[in-house]
Amino acid sequence: MSNPESIGPADSFVERERRRLVYEVGNCIMSWAGVEHSLCLLFMSLMKLPIENAVAIWDSIVSLEAKLSMLNVVVRQNTTDTDILPIWDKIFVRISKKYRKRHEIAHGCIMVINDERIVFVPYGTMTSIFDSAGRRLSADQIAQRNKSFHELGRAIEWITTSVPLRRDNAVAALPEAPDLVRQLQTLIAQTPVGMPPPPQS
């Protein structure tokens, strides 16, 4: 079990896989940083304050959960639009779930087994490392998680544009919806009134 900078020859299977895991982990963490930046931009766009004041308020709060709670109030103070608010509600729930997924990557570790196999261990606690039946993530799975973070950031950007647009002009055409927003619109349209929506992934 090891986590060195390199393992054996550059063309070995384990070293190629190590490099790919490091690459995908880095991309995943940076995509989540984009999500948090998008949330800050949404907050800034809705607060009727000088930008530096809005940023100071946002950055003074360390906990993302507390930031989200505050942001949820601000969004609801700025819109009751039925084309936007249901989408925000689903994005809001999804952010918390994806935040936990981000932690798995940010606090995970790469483990080499007998110089022959290499795996990524979510969270990477000593308990999870030594649990041979514990969950492991492949580079492809981490890449898929990176994609989901990127899509979430684009959905937040759509909210950032849409809320002030409809707040100032109730009949304004909304911007083109990114993939995740379209998926959520379909989910909402297919959910009978009064029925709880199916769980989100």
Tens-digit pLDDT string for the chain (201 aa): 344 455 556 678 889 999 999 999 999 999 999 999 999 999 999 998 999 999 999 999 999 999 999 999 999 999 999 999 999 999 999 999 999 999 999 999 998 877 778 889 999 888 888 888 889 999 999 999 999 999 999 999 999 999 999 999 999 999 999 999 999 999 999 987 665 655 655
Q: Where are the beta strands (DSSP E) in the chain?
A: 109-113, 117-121
Phi first, then psi: give them for residue 188, nearest 5 degrees: -65, -45
Nearest CA-CA partner of 139 in 12, 13, 9: 13
Evaluate whether 162 touches 185 at the Cβ level (below 8 Å). no
Nearest CA-CA partner of 85 in 167, 149, 22, 153: 167
Residue 184 carries which side chain, given as an amino acid letter?
L
Residue with tokens 């795996």: 119
Distance CA 151, CA 79 (A): 23
The burial class, CB within 10 Å (0-12 / 13-18 / 19+), for 145 is buried
* DSSP 8-state class, residue 119: E
Distance CA 146, CA 28 (A): 4
Q: Who's near 67: CB < 8 A, 6+ residues apart?
A: 39, 43, 58, 61
Evaluate whether 89 touches 72 at the Cβ level (below 8 Å). no
Distance CA 3, CA 156 (A): 36
Predicted local confidence at residue 10, as pLDDT:
60
Evaluate whether 189 touches 195 at the Cβ level (below 8 Å). no
Predicted local confidence at residue 120, as pLDDT:
94
Distance CA 90, CA 175 (A): 18
The H or E element containing residue 127 is: helix 126-130
Predicted local confidence at residue 3, as pLDDT:
46
- Token pair in block for residue 97: 């779930």
